[in-house]
Amino acid sequence: MADSPENTLAAPDYKAASYIKSSPTLALCPPDQGLEVAFAGRSNAGKSSALNALTDSSKLARTSKTPGRTQMLNFFGLDQYRRLVDLPGYGYAKVPEAMKIKWQKHLDEYLSGRQSLCGIVLLMDIRHPLKEFDLTLLNWANSCQLPAHILLTKADKLKYGAAQKVLMAVRQHCKAMPSVSVQCFSAPKGTGITDLTRQLNLWFGAAFERDDVSADQEASGEA
């Protein structure tokens, strides 16, 4: 059970996000307490740009024209209990195959062993959605009943009608996964930040409420 603050359900201040640490392995991650949401996606999906747009910062997460710069799990604190995590990117990283395998191993360990993980934001370039890595992560999250929220990034690269067509197609694909939600997103235009924030608040707030209820039930002998 994730540790939760007493009577604290206020939405996090995403603009107050601050860097905590970068961890190459699960063992070196911050203490597995509180709640955290992980951002995952292919190396060219725009994870760093999305995190910077969400937190209204141009420097929180490193961005680069060279895909694959994120090679560790990067933790950003929102408050004493809640965190955002930038996971290693995959797909176009120009690194040795052995390094890719190593990254995959650490990612698998994090996703399967991190108790404080309460949701995954999966970023996909709206022009290239539902690639192999995306499908693998979605199926894993669904099998674990872990909520996933898909950001179709770079929505400004398509006309509105074309973007909506992709949105509906991805929603249709995920129709059998009740814990998966989908939206369009554009970091440069600021499109979709409100919807993303609403989803994160739901995960963080609902999770705290769930844990508080569980604690009350245990205390009263109902659990």
For each of the domains in the chain, give its residue range(s) and CATH number, in order of start: 14-211 (3.40.50.300)
pLDDT score of 207: 60
The pLDDT assigned to 105 comes to 77
Residue 13 has, within 13 A of its CA and on its CB side, a CA count of 5
pTM confidence score: 0.84
Q: What was the pLDDT predicted at 217? A: 36
pLDDT of 209: 55
pLDDT of residue 94: 62
pLDDT, position 39: 96
Q: Look at residue 202 in the predicted model and tell me its pLDDT.
A: 95
User: pLDDT per position in the chain (223 positions), as tens?
Assistant: 344 444 456 899 999 999 999 998 889 999 999 999 999 998 889 998 999 999 998 878 764 444 444 578 899 999 999 999 998 876 645 667 776 777 677 778 888 889 999 999 999 999 999 998 899 899 989 888 899 999 999 999 999 999 999 999 999 999 999 999 999 999 999 999 999 999 999 999 866 554 543 443 333 343 3
